[in-house]
Structure 1
Amino acid sequence: MKNASKRAGAESASQWKPAADGESKKIVRLTGERGESSLMTGLYDQQKAPGKAFDLSARLRSLRKQHSITLEELARRSGLVRSTLSKMENGRMSPTFEVLLKLASGFGMELAELLKPQAFPAPTGRFAVTEGADADQIEYPNYILVPHASNLKSKRMLPFISRMTARSLEEFDDWNRHETEDFMLVLSGQMIFYSDTYEPIVLNPGDSIYFDGRMGHACISGGDTICEAVYVCTQE
């Protein structure tokens, strides 16, 4: 047991190498939302629990929201391509050490700060009630959105009631696209979901669909009445 303990200690110590500026470097596991991960060298706070996974995609989304900047603006500041940033935010790409340095520069911070694990505030028990009569309508050419919980700040998702006024795909000038994940639940009428990836899908009351908002899509009402649905999307 004594020899085994020494070997374990040696293996643990071998992960650490002195950095030029006196700080320590450690292998950090970067884990994306889809479970993909890679090992790379990065500055890491020695006070953190060893082996703890770091969710870079969530960290990037949080920082971009805090700084109120778009992917295009971050691309300009960091010198990285927008598509690369989008892939990292969605856990589909593991960046190199050089890319991490550019990201940190784009946010105007040190690399150690970029790799700092995200801390979520403790639940506050907050809630918001929206009465139907008080809800405002936002009219678009092909649909109407009725926002709910609009007085609640810093939400992680945006809830709406959506009424689809379009009756044919020809009424759209182009596909809808946005950097969100979307969920729709049909309340009344019939909805036909079109996309640039799949065949049209017909949804009736009680049916739902969850989809990637970056995919070109459009929704129209089928049948004789306007379709009404719950629509929830994540914050961009």
Structure 2
Amino acid sequence: MDTETEAILDAIGPRLRAVRTSCGLTLTEVAERTGLAVSTLSRVETGHRKPTLDLLIPLARTYQTPLDSLVAAPATGDPRMHLRPHRHASGGIIVPLTGYPGRVQVFKHVLGPREPRLRAHEGHAWLYVLAGTLRLLIGDAEYLLAPGETAEFDPRTPHWFGPADATPVEILHLFGPHGDKPVPRVTHR
């Protein structure tokens, strides 16, 4: 077994103990819920027994957590399959859809009600409304965009965008940090 795999397996026991204690459960309670022996659970948590799928699956169910979070295996394949949403400081959720530093970035935003605060910065922005109504302020102009509508603008002009009312709005946001912008090659009707 290679050292990376060995390190991943060695980290599972302590992770299981941390998850169990954060759930406020004792080994006895987990044993009752999973049908696994207390001694087996203890040996896995202390690293005296290697975890197997027949042990991990009932634990994932009991802890109501994905199996891969218990194992913490390295991400493989397409990084878009391992999206990590996070809360934005100004409110709402942002899901990065690309990870290309210095190139055009793509995000999905779910924006809740918030007060407009105009800001300006370098780059180029393109928005596509997925759901809800987007209120977009660019300088002194105000626009309301419905699902399927887009906006493209230079963010050096003070701007703000968010929901038009108390209902959250979902958008796709393409941002070119160096002024890169989408180049339409085909428009077919």
> TM-score scaled by structure 2?
0.48
Structure with greater helix share of residues: 2
Q: TM-score, normalised by structure 1?
A: 0.39
